[in-house]
Amino acid sequence: MSKDILEKIKSDFEKGLQEAGNDLGKLEELRIKFLSRKSELNQLLKGIKDLSSEEKKEFGSLANQTRKEVETKLMDLIEEIQQRKDLEKDWIDVTAPGKKEAIGHLNLLSKVQREIEDIFTSMSFEIADGPEIENEWYNFDALNIPKNHPARDLWDTFWIKNKNKKGEKLLVRTHTSNAQVRYMEKHKPPFQVIVPGKAYRYEATDAHHEHSFCQFEALVVGDSVSVANFKSIAQEFFSAFFGEKIEIRLRPSYFPFTEPSFEFDISCKVCQGKGCPTCGHTGWLEMGGCGMVNQRVFESAGYEKNKYQGFAWGFGIERLAMMKHQVGDIRNFRSGDLRFIRQF
């Protein structure tokens, strides 16, 4: 045996290392070639026992040292490459822009309601609230709709099974007009207020009717409020809401709490008043009911009869949203269909 064999093994190993680079597969091949039981180096080590004691001394320690060197170098390199690979796997780019969380947005109806509130606030109106669970008095009787009066049939009602502590029958309000007397009991004229909110009716649904929908009530009361004031405020509101001049029209109608009463139409936005399927070829679209506040309602609120004049209206918020955003079916609003919701 000679040292040359060991030198050759070492230089073969170094060459092999260079060729393998960072390739763990090739390094494993090197391990088998130079360190396995059948490797040339191990065979040499096995043969040491047959050498003379002189040779054992010289060659044995050199062979062992060579094996140790090969083993340390190779195993350290494998471990280092493995650690680097693990780090690369878990690497986080702290400079990368953050991922935006997918968050929701306001429903079209809420947006439209806020738009309405903004326009009225800019005209010095107050925004007030009324309860959705109501007693018969504020929803009907106080508005000049006594029990057994046929006008109650205009509002198909969801009654609540349980009465309140005072033994009064309860319902979910059929219109935001329930807030009229509640507000007047707490405020003295002059005032101008709107009450946006939900209303409920026990009726079949179709493209223009829902059992749960939104209205907003407007109430303006003072010493000399007239239909002319109402028309100009309505004109102002609709022009601001649609961003263009809107024609309005009043048709005689009937509501127990207003006298005279009107149906309120606006010129059709789709055909500019020429006539189309949306407006039933009339050129006009029905927006809601309105009228001069009936003196009996003022009496319900505790006001002196004939002391004040006022007008009130109740418009559907879905109908306004439908017209402004070309929504063909009112049922889309509460369908939960994200394809619809995400459009706005």
What residues contact residue 266 under an 8 Å CB cut-off, 6+ apart? 238, 246, 247, 248, 249, 284, 285, 287
| Interacting residue with ligand FA5 among 20, 34, 314, 333 (CB under 6 A) | 314
d(Cα 138, Cα 301) in Å, to the nearest integer?
A: 10
Does position 197 interact with ligand FA5 (CB under 6 A)? The reply is no
User: Near ligand FA5 by CB under 6 A, which window of 15-23, 43-51, 132-140, 308-316?
Assistant: 308-316
Minimum CB distance to ligand FA5 smaller for 10 or for 324: 324
Q: Could you give the 3-state DSSP secondary structure of residue 188?
A: coil
CB of 332 to ligand FA5, least distance (A): 12
Query: d(Cα 145, Cα 130) in Å, to the nearest integer?
Result: 19
Residues binding ligand FA5: what is the number (CB under 6 A)?
A: 24
Residue 171 beta carbon to ligand FA5: minimum distance, rounded to whole angstroms: 14
Which ranges in the chain belong to alpha helices (H)? 3-20, 24-35, 40-47, 53-55, 61-89, 108-122, 136-139, 179-186, 227-242, 295-300, 317-325, 338-341
Interaction of residue 200 with ligand FA5, rule CB under 6 A: no
CA pair distance 86, 79, nearest whole angstrom: 11
**Residue whose structure tokens are 């319900």:** 300
Task: For ligand FA5, give the closer residue by CB, 20 or 108.
Answer: 108
Among 142, 268, 312, 322, binds ligand FA5 (CB under 6 A): 312
Structure tokens at 236: 């102002």
Among 210, 234, 268, 294, binds ligand FA5 (CB under 6 A): 210
Q: Which residue is nearest to ligand FA5 (CB)?
A: 316
Residue range at the interface with ligand FA5 (CB under 6 A); choices 19-27, 83-91, 208-216, 221-229? 208-216
Q: Which stretch binds ligand FA5 (CB under 6 A): 62-70, 114-122, 127-135, 287-295?
A: 287-295
Sequence-ordered list of residues with C-beta below 8 angstroms from that of 210, at least 6 positions apart, any chain: 318, 330, 331, 333, 334
Secondary structure letter of residue 97 according to DSSP: P
Would you count residue 196 as binding ligand FA5 (CB under 6 A)? no
Smallest gap from residue 181 Cβ to ligand FA5 (A): 12
The contact pattern for ligand FA5, residues 166-195, with x = CB under 6 A and - = no contact, is ---------x-x------------------
> Which member of 70, 234, 290, 292 binds ligand FA5 (CB under 6 A)?
290
The H-assigned helical ranges of 211-337 are 227-242, 295-300, 317-325
Q: How far is the CB of 292 from ligand FA5 (least distance, A)?
A: 9
296 binds ligand FA5 (CB under 6 A): no
The interface with ligand FA5 within residues 211-270 (CB under 6 A) comprises: 213, 215, 217, 255, 258
C-alpha span between 298 and 65 (Å, rounded): 111
Q: Are 259 and 289 in contact (CB under 8 A)?
A: no
21 three-class SS: coil
Q: How far apart are CA 245 and CA 118, in angstroms?
A: 18
Applying CB under 6 A, the residues found at the interface with ligand FA5 are 175, 177, 201, 203, 209-210, 213, 215, 217, 255, 258, 286, 288-291, 312-316, 318-319, 330
